[in-house]
Structure 1
Amino acid sequence: MTKLTQQNGLDKESIRSAINKYCENRNISQNELATQAGISSASISKMINGNHSDIRDGLWRKVWVVVSDGVDILINTRDHNAITKACKKARDYKLMIGITGETGMGKTTSLKVMSRKPNTYFVSFDKTMRAKQFFGMILREMGIAFEGSIHDMVNTIANELNTQDHPLLMIDESGKLTHNIILYLHVLRDKTNKNAGIILAGMPYFKNNLIKFSNKQKEGYAEFLRRINLWNEMQGLTSQEAQFICEQNGITDKETVKELSRKKRFGDLVNEILLYKEIDD
């Protein structure tokens, strides 16, 4: 496993390789990656071209957190392992499983790791999206160029999933899904429940709102809620996991490790580690 830090410093060649692979797999530009990492596009260009003697280690670390999807420091946490098991269960038994957790818990990172597997599709809902944009995004993720009505889009997605071997569709930010999209997802689920697994990940209010609207007998919510076979609730980092992550990233000062070990959210811990290393540099 490539680590963020090595005994002799950052493994910059691995990061350069990961940058190219990340941009290629997601069909994004260097400028877009720079925006995601919060650094300048000029710095990304220097990293790729090998002309990076003046690039501070802190900038390399920011890029690594993005292009590695946090895999190296997340891989052994109980939440990541629980999500991995949930995805496997959904895929193997054609289930629809809900995953809830506060922001920064590592849901998105874990799902992106799973998206590297064959016949696995990851999309993240944006509350500004209309239904046609959302299902169009799923089609693009599946590599399908298609124009038509929402009804035809849903049918095309279902038909493709039903031709594949153990496919898995993962939808992040599910708590923001609109009523209209939930009704269409209900249809998609019914059309694929004998061949595909679905993961719905969101904040804790995702499950709470489904229950609330179901109790209020809002159209489609009770039926959709019943189709979610299992729920997984993320628990956050243990102090031992946080300590291990600190040590893996070269933080050995006992007081600093003790303070950072109180972090329950993976994202908060990563940000604190980056800040610590930025100051240390």
Structure 2
Amino acid sequence: MTGPTGVEDLPPLREVIARHGLAASRALGQNFILDEQLLDRIAAIPGALDGERVYEVGPGPGGLTRALLRQGAEVVAVERDRRCLAPLAELGAAAAGRLQVIEGDALAVDEAEAVGPAHIVANLPYNVGTALLVRWLGGEAWPPWWRSLTLMFQREVAERIVARPDTSAYGRLAVLAQWRAEPKLAMKVHRSAFVPPPKVMSAIVHIVPGPRPEGVRAADLERLTAAAFGQRRKMLRRSLQSLHGALEALDRLDIDPSRRAETLSIEEFVAIARELGRSEPQPPR
């Protein structure tokens, strides 16, 4: 961690929120965390960030942003709530050039272009969290532009990301998160830590890129999991019947088509996707 940066001299976050008349917006999926010790613990999850670039989505009044700056990170934050731009500007002035704020919708940002290689650390707005995660986990380019993901979700969503086969939480999100990355549940966060308290508990998932299995396209795995888990209570012979080549792939791999999607391992999904890809031309990597 670096020495004094000016961030430590800022007034308490609760005072900043009151001075700017801020209130968390339900429409934007906002819930603020004011406990600076908790925020420091969250900012420490990715490991040493001194001199590292961090991308934050939805910083709000800047609680987690402060913690990241205290870790010595250079932060690029995207915020669509114009009410939060003034307190973020104050934080940027105190951080002596280590905070860049992009006003806009995170779903519309070209992160690889605007941010470059970075760790992503965010208390994600609940209404866009899953969509952002699926985008960050997708695409054919691997390793990805991000170095690690440290993300706050509703606890139910977090458990789906790290779920193992043959459990009620296991589904498409688990496969997409685990086939070429390593997610773990890093911290549970009680609803009372937020202002206002959400109706659900939260948890933080930490994800690092892993090796990409050879001969598998992300697009094939995405199509496969969408079909398999779109009708998860049905046997594979029914849920995959509309996916060209899928039943033949099951036969070649000696996978019983009477099984259901939640019983297949990550490795089995990868093997099926590889078979699907063999019948189609591979795009340049």
TM-score (normalised: structure 2): 0.35
Structure with bigger strand share is: 2
Structure with bigger helix share is: 1
TM-score (normalised: structure 1): 0.35
